[in-house]
Structure 1
């Protein structure tokens, strides 16, 4: 007969390791043989060991075979389901606990429920955690720091940023996890400006606790700087990362490359890349995309080829960067070559963004019919990016019939998008189809109303200056227009045969 204390020590050791399912099974057999299988505390430790070993079914069997279940055992089983992304199982067990055992749950129970690593399809506005918010308030568990942070994180995963911020503001005590969760929430849902403001508040917070950003927070903030073209903030975050010693984290370095690249600081992006000892595919792809984003196609290709020589296997994002660079620079043959390498050599299925680049390349090469065949054979008529690229190719080559075909499909997909109407009307104007142009403009007024003019922006001295097309209200607008004329003349001189595809059968073998 094995003593109970010895079995407890074995279970504690198994729970600490929690990687060997066979060890859990042997301890389970010892419990049954010694007659201690019905002991609630031992059963709880065994179920926890099974859960941490990734064995959900044996953990549930231990739970079902235990006659007297306390709150700890219920919570361990709920946590087991939650940690394995079994959202509905965890909430069904919680409902059964309240119904059959009459237990309301404690902080551990609710933190496990709310932090369930559910699939993205389950993270919607119908997440059961939203309904449980009222129960958390009624039980007073919203004062629990762990529960409140889990509730905030749940709202963030569901995309309900305003609700997450309300939970954050209601917290009487915050730690680094709660601050970082709210900052990452803003960064992941397009609230880059709010994320930066919250980061400043975090650094100035006077709650009495030492709250510091970690590598995940900095990576999220830098990604927001890249999306907002906030160069000044990116350099400040870089300085903070250097001060805290966080620049050595790979995800921070990768985010820095993208932030500098999208802000036009290629030298700083290259210097950051050089500091990475073992760059991964994200590091290489970030450099390729940075060069492509700024129109440095030859540099993007050189980085991509260097990555291949280093033995790094490219993924779809890396190929998208080099294809985009070739597309924007008119390097037709290079772009088609890389597209074939991606699909033939690396067996990567092209996504709509890849196909949009391919269609743009074919259009620049004057092969609109080949681009049309790509659309038909790949069944991408449901993607507006690809159709828009094809319509732009039709505009460039003056193919009015195929432009009408693309226009019909584009308006079927997004009938209320004003940008589509402008793209279609520009294609008709380029082909001289004034009657069709008038119809599109009339239809646009009925469907979209007044269009907000598109604008561009640039950061000067820490301030963002916006401007629209033909804007003469800006200071030095005359000088800027003169500079643009010089650039156009320079580009016309730089035109070469890279925009001519000499191999007529280069792409036909693919589709």
Structure 2
């Protein structure tokens, strides 16, 4: 008897001599081996065996195995059995063997709707990178109609998927018209495919019309409508559809809740996320890996890293995505130590990190300047072949740059075969950060010569390099290049670099003119850069103007009172100094002290100015004295 379960039991079969065999369905290769040697007395049993063996081959997706099965069916005398031919066609399509698919299809003497649907739906699975093959879907649809074979709902769902992959809205719209004409628009699966089609093109209203016209809605259609709103950043509408779904008596599934969790994350409504969490627990979906990972992501992105960790710790089963979600969450919150510790737990749990894991941990360690951890991660990436991934290489450039190792950052950049825009930008900014503006500019010019089109971040990097190097003419040239040739609209960061560039060169009037003529009000960073330049070049009048603007912009920030007080003091306005300091005492509750950290024996030690409370304060200050002496010796040399 042939069972539709995890194993395929075959009764007595006849070889030379007679014996028996059991072939597990969970191993497609084993089914194939059995099918090559097996001889059945009953042709019906042979047909059933081959049909299930072909299903296993389709799951495995092996082209050589598909060809062996094809040859075996031909030799067995069952080649013209339509159900076997359809299943063999499905195997070739799943293996993406287009030549074998077309040859088999053309050889088939008889075709039914299953044949055409297998071919059309299979073509949709090839993806957007195979435009020529995707167009075959419509070619075969026309042939199907010319042979007087009527389409069904499977035909339309397959063709709509092809339209999405081809990014061809007009064909999809025509398919909708044909579906309406033939009466398929009321079918749940066709309606779901149409809603998905319209959502991919951003036509949410059209998708909602299709949804509203379908009188009998199943869970798939409700889920697709929720996903449509989520995909198009209409999160409130997604929850509105979910409320209607609940009124219809549907509870939802893992797909529903994963989309809603994403919507609540974007909305930044922590209360809504918690209510959703309660419902998920009540419906027992918190044991689902996808939903639980969504909960972790939702809490982490809403800034509640403690609840994210609680949700992660409650997970019964975890996969690499679950670990990545938690590690990325710690990375976003700048907790590199915990991200690194969690990576160790991941290893101990026999999970192998992927490129997303490593890139996230590298970014976290780079922000903490944890050089020893970065070296370990770099070694692991090389050992496991991850260094070829652009995301890893780019993260290594940033991490080494943040740790002060410009040489290693440069080596990582040189190891990239084909750098992308992020690679170029990361290295340009690294050179600017380390006081090597000329190298940054040379690299920017090399990037342009290689045909890479710079974006706002790339221009920010080269402007920063010009600012650090005092290269006024070059900086102004790149600013004009950005706005006039590449039509990149400058934002506050670009203007801050420009103000800093002019201010360092003592061109305060020019900097003031830009501040006054900008299309938006100057921000705190811009004003801070301008004030610093005014103080260096002794222009108390402009410094006073900028400090008062900064004071109006951020009245609750203690450092702004200090800046304004110092400017008044340098100009000799002592009454104003006293007034500002009184306002500071009255309005500001406390001033958060800035801290520094130093790495000793692989461990970071944090301290503030004149701090004696650290348990290893003596060692910290001893090392600081050594570093100060070395810097003095370097400056003398």
Question: With structure 1 as the length reference, what TM-score do the two structures score?
Answer: 0.83
Assess if the C-alpha contact under 8 Å between 2:157 and 2:190 holds in 1.
Answer: no
Alignment of 1:168 with 2:316, yes or no, is no
For 1:105, the equivalent position in structure 2 comes to 252
Between the two proteins, the alignment pairs up a number of residues equal to 481
Match of 2:219 among 44, 64, 71: 71
Structure 2: stretches of 5+ with no match in the other structure = 1-111, 118-150, 612-616
For 1:84, the equivalent position in structure 2 comes to 232
Assess if the C-alpha contact under 8 Å between 2:475 and 2:498 holds in 1.
Answer: yes
Q: How does 1:41-440 map to 2 (within 5 A)?
A: 41=189, 43-44=191-192, 47-48=195-196, 56-99=204-247, 101-116=248-263, 122-125=266-269, 128-205=272-349, 210-378=350-518, 381-440=521-580
Assess if the C-alpha contact under 8 Å between 1:127 and 1:158 holds in 2.
Answer: no
Q: Residue 437 of structure 1: CA displacement? A: 3.9
Q: Residue 239 of structure 1: CA displacement? A: 1.7
Assess if the C-alpha contact under 8 Å between 1:382 and 1:413 holds in 2.
Answer: no
Q: Residue 448 of structure 1: CA displacement? A: 3.3
Could you give the per-residue CA deviations for residues 59-98 of structure 1, whole angstroms, max 9, x where no partner exists? 4344323322222332233233333333222221111122
Q: Residue 161 of structure 1: CA displacement? A: 2.6
Q: How does 1:18-57 map to 2 (within 5 A)?
A: 18-19=164-165, 21=169, 24=172, 28=176, 31-41=179-189, 43-44=191-192, 47-48=195-196, 56-57=204-205
**Counterpart-to-counterpart distance in 2, 1:445 and 1:195:** 39
Could you give the per-residue CA deviations for residues 442-468 of structure 1, whole angstroms, max 9, x where no partner exists? 433333355444333333431224455
Alignment of 1:457 with 2:597, yes or no, is yes
Q: Residue 479 of structure 1: CA displacement? A: 4.5
Structure 1: stretches of 5+ with no match in the other structure = 491-511
Match of 1:13 among 158, 172, 175: 158
Bigger mean CA deviation after superposition, 182-191 or 157-166: 157-166
**Counterpart-to-counterpart distance in 1, 2:221 and 2:397:** 47
Could you give the per-residue CA deviations for residues 374-431 of structure 1, whole angstroms, max 9, x where no partner exists? 2111165441001111111111122222222122111222223233333334444555
For 1:497, the equivalent position in structure 2 comes to none
**Counterpart-to-counterpart distance in 2, 1:51 and 1:355:** 38
CA RMSD of aligned residues (A): 3.1
Q: What SS does the corresponding residue of 2:490 show, helix, strand or coil?
A: coil
Assess if the C-alpha contact under 8 Å between 1:381 and 1:409 holds in 2.
Answer: no
Assess if the C-alpha contact under 8 Å between 1:392 and 1:423 holds in 2.
Answer: no
**Counterpart-to-counterpart distance in 2, 1:329 and 1:314:** 21
The structure with the larger Rg is 2
Q: What SS does the corresponding residue of 2:545 show, helix, strand or coil?
A: helix
Q: Residue 288 of structure 1: CA displacement? A: 1.0
Bigger mean CA deviation after superposition, 276-285 or 66-75: 66-75
Q: What SS does the corresponding residue of 1:115 show, helix, strand or coil?
A: helix
Q: Residue 284 of structure 1: CA displacement? A: 0.9
Closer, same or farther in 2 for the Cα pair 1:358/1:428, shift >3 Å?
farther
Q: What SS does the corresponding residue of 1:159 show, helix, strand or coil?
A: coil
**Counterpart-to-counterpart distance in 2, 1:299 and 1:319:** 15
Q: What SS does the corresponding residue of 1:142 show, helix, strand or coil?
A: coil
Closer, same or farther in 2 for the Cα pair 1:434/1:395, shift >3 Å?
farther
For 1:509, the equivalent position in structure 2 comes to none
For 1:503, the equivalent position in structure 2 comes to none
Q: What SS does the corresponding residue of 2:444 show, helix, strand or coil?
A: helix
Assess if the C-alpha contact under 8 Å between 2:548 and 2:564 holds in 1.
Answer: no
Q: What SS does the corresponding residue of 1:140 show, helix, strand or coil?
A: coil
For 1:504, the equivalent position in structure 2 comes to none
**Counterpart-to-counterpart distance in 2, 1:380 and 1:16:** 45
Q: Greater relative contact order (Cα 8 A, min sep 6): structure 1 or 2?
A: 1
